[in-house]
Structure 1
Amino acid sequence: MNWGKGLIAGMIIFILFITAMGVKMFMLPGDDYDHQYYEKGLTFNRDYDREKQVTTDQAAPVIEQVGQNLVLTFKTPLTGTIRFERPSDQLQDRSFPLQPDADNSVLLPINKLATGKWQLTLNWQHQSKDYLYHQEITIR
């Protein structure tokens, strides 16, 4: 093989490589870019104060999976909501009201949620104090 054929073969291989990378790039799923960044930026201080209140009052709930249920145990009576956010699929996100029993425990059935990683966001109020708590869990 002479230099001319080798140069043409090298260019063709390079063009095929660049084309394959371009096709692969367009076939990847959407970016992880947070499209709500501006709105979240406006409420950052309020959310930070609510997260800090959890630490100050040592009010973090105990979260454990018991069979097909998620048990959240709080230290005080409360009203609020819990949001299950699926990092890999935004369409699976769900919200539920927190309805504690007499022992300040909340029992949530999770059998309809997909197994894998979930981000929990708990918002609750107790005696005119607002709380915000985040935790990542893995549903088995």
Structure 2
Amino acid sequence: MKINWGTGIVLSFIGFIAFILFFVVRMSMDDRANHDLVTEEYYKKELSFQKEIDAMEKAKNRPYQVKLIRTDSGMIIQFPEDMTPSKIKGKVSLYRPSNKHLDIDFPISLSNTHLLIPDKRLLDGRWDIDVNWDYEGETYLFRESFTY
């Protein structure tokens, strides 16, 4: 059987489309390609977004700012010096964009103005940190990305 050039082009298109569809179906069914949302309850979090913006503005307008300091023992979160450490309550959330299983949340419990995140808890790579704390009835939020 002889195939002319028109039939060859049509067969080539059909082969290419089949090739692309094979990979689309394979990637959508594969367990290794995990397509998680950034947060589990996206819409509920969206409703509280204005409160986060207000808390971030309060933290930025303070005379002393929260600082992240990298040391050999880990990452130090330096709280504002004008705040009494025992009155600071809240939580620190470390979010790893590449793997949600590495996300860490822990409460803030201070005896001095800094909090140490141990080096063994932080793997190399990009991290997003949220420091959400209450001080004398006011809520503050510090949010930053860093590479460890």
Bin of the TM-score, shorter chain as denominator length: 0.7 to 0.9
**For residues 136 and 10 of structure 2, what CA distance do their matches in structure 1 show?**
77
The equivalent residue for 1:119 is: 128
Letter in 2 for 1:2: N
Aligned to 2:110: 100
- Please say if 1:71 is aligned against 2:76: yes
Quick one: structure 1 residues 33 and 67, their matched pair in 2 at CA, closer, same or farther if it must change by over 3 Å? closer
The number of residue pairs the alignment matches comes to 138
Superposition RMSD on alpha carbons, in Å? 2.3
Give structure 1 regions of 4+ aligned residues with deviation exceeding 6 angstroms: none
How far is 1:124 from its partner?
A: 0.8
TM-score by length of 1: 0.81
Query: Any gaps of 5 or more consecutive residues in structure 1?
Result: none
Q: Mind listing any 5+ residue stretches in structure 2 that lack a counterpart?
A: none
SS at match of 1:111: helix
Could you tell me which amino acid in structure 2 is paired with residue 29 of structure 1? N
Tell whether the 8 Å contact from 2:72 to 2:119 is kept in structure 1 after alignment: no
TM-score normalised per structure 2: 0.77
Is the counterpart of residue 84 in structure 1 residue 89 in structure 2? no
How far apart are 1:56 and its partner, in Å? 1.9
**Identity within the alignment, %:** 26
